[in-house]
Amino acid sequence: MSAVAEGEGKGEGLGTLAVHAGHDPAGHLGAAVPPLYQSATFVAPDTSTLEAINAGSRRGFVYSRIRNPTVLAAEQRLAALEGAESAVAFASGMAAVAGALAPFLTAGDEVVALPDLYGGTRRYLAEVLPRQGVAVRRAADGSAGAVGAALGRATRIILAETPTNPLVRVIDLAALAALARGAGAMLVVDGTLGSPMNQRPLALGADLVIHSVSKYLNGHGDVIGGAVLGSRALTRAVRSHQQAAGGIMEPFAAWLLLRGLATYPLRMARHNASGLAVARFLAAHPRVVRVHYPGLPDHPDHALARRQMQGFGGLVSFEAESAAAARRIVDAFRLFAIGPSIGGIESLCSQPGNTSHHALAEAERLAMGITPALVRLAVGIETTADLVADLARALEAA
């Protein structure tokens, strides 16, 4: 079977794209899986060929900071899964955040940021952009009305994350896309928690999508990386900035990512199923005060999630009876190990106040709804009954 090249084959099933997109065995000595090109430099057979590659009239490789075959294969596979024309892979999720924003902002511009963003993104907005003369306006909440009220004449980008971490709120992307178009701005969406199987922001009007590929897309907890996806017109600017700034994904990380992507749809299906089962169990437990999961009917964004998403993911958070109870629950787990990440094959737990959002002041965390009694679960792909049993033991111990 021939490869699905960048921007092609979008009519094929997600499982097929996850295995084949970006790789043509015929071009790699018949290798069934994409080879690892762990080479910094590529040599040209003659000067004319080198000049043609440099001019862009001939596809080829010169130096891995500019382009590497393994990284390119990973980018093409990511683009196929997301339904994007093009993707640019970065050294980390935060490098991808910077890579999605910096090429489109200059001094005097403004960014409207929704309040529920990853802690690292909030730090970038607070510490880096202001030094470059870019102002950041914060919407009061994630509603279209609040975002519209925050827009200014200098707004160039609306930055959103959906679903959010750790309260798993869902943002109406079609409504924000309409606002962005009306303001002459771009909508940039961190879609890490949704991931392409559950949610496709580009199809809902977003201009660029950011992923921390360390999470669901790679899924094995052994890669740090990020990606920016969108139209070729926009990703061309993203890639140009990346080549100048140097935040590239290295070939071995791309090779591991390709390996992880091959099983992504299978893993995501288990995350979705177990996440929902865990959320339902917690919702029925007398020692759980509240559960945050958009797959539950009483979640404030349930109706929107049903319209906008095809699955609800593996991130579940809940509020225990007290901060002390939350700490005892976390310490009592056997399968849910204490760790700060999400989206891996292994289940993890954390208290956002001392992991993902520990750098924020307590008042800021409370304003976001992150209380000391909040516990976040990253539901992995272990046997669902075993995960529920671990939860039951931990809740009884508390």
Give the active site residues: 65, 118, 190, 215
What whole-number distance in Å separates Cα of residue 29 and Cα of residue 268?
32
- Which amino acid does the sequence have at 47? T
Tokens of 58: 């001939």
Query: Sign (positive/negative) of CA torsion 260, 342, 7, 60?
Result: negative
State the number of CA atoms in the 13 A half-sphere of 194 facing the CB.
Answer: 28
Hey, which residues does 229 pair with through a beta bridge? 87, 209
What whole-number distance in Å separates Cα of residue 256 and Cα of residue 214?
10
- Which amino acid does the sequence have at 290? R
Tokens of 331: 């310490």
H-helix segments, 129-224 = 144-150, 173-183, 195-198
What is the arrangement of strands in the sheet containing 315-319, beginning at the earlier edge strand? 290-292, 315-319, 374-378, 348-350, 337-338
Q: What is the dihedral angle through the alpha carbons of 171, 174, 176, 181, rounded to the nearest 10 degrees?
A: 160
State the number of CA atoms in the 13 A half-sphere of 96 facing the CB.
Answer: 29
Which residues of the chain form beta strands (DSSP E)? 86-90, 110-113, 135-138, 155-161, 186-190, 208-212, 226-230, 290-292, 315-319, 337-338, 348-350, 374-378
Q: Is 248 helix (H, G, I), strand (E, B) or coil?
A: strand
Q: How many C-beta neighbours within 10 Å does residue 10 have?
A: 15
CA distances from 135 to 66, 146, 332 (A): 31, 18, 44
Cα 216 to its chain centre, rounded Å, is: 8
Residues whose CB is less than 8 angstroms from the CB of residue 41 and which lie 6 or more positions away in sequence, other chains included: 62, 63, 64
Hey, which residues does 316 pair with through a beta bridge? 377
Tokens of 265: 């749809």
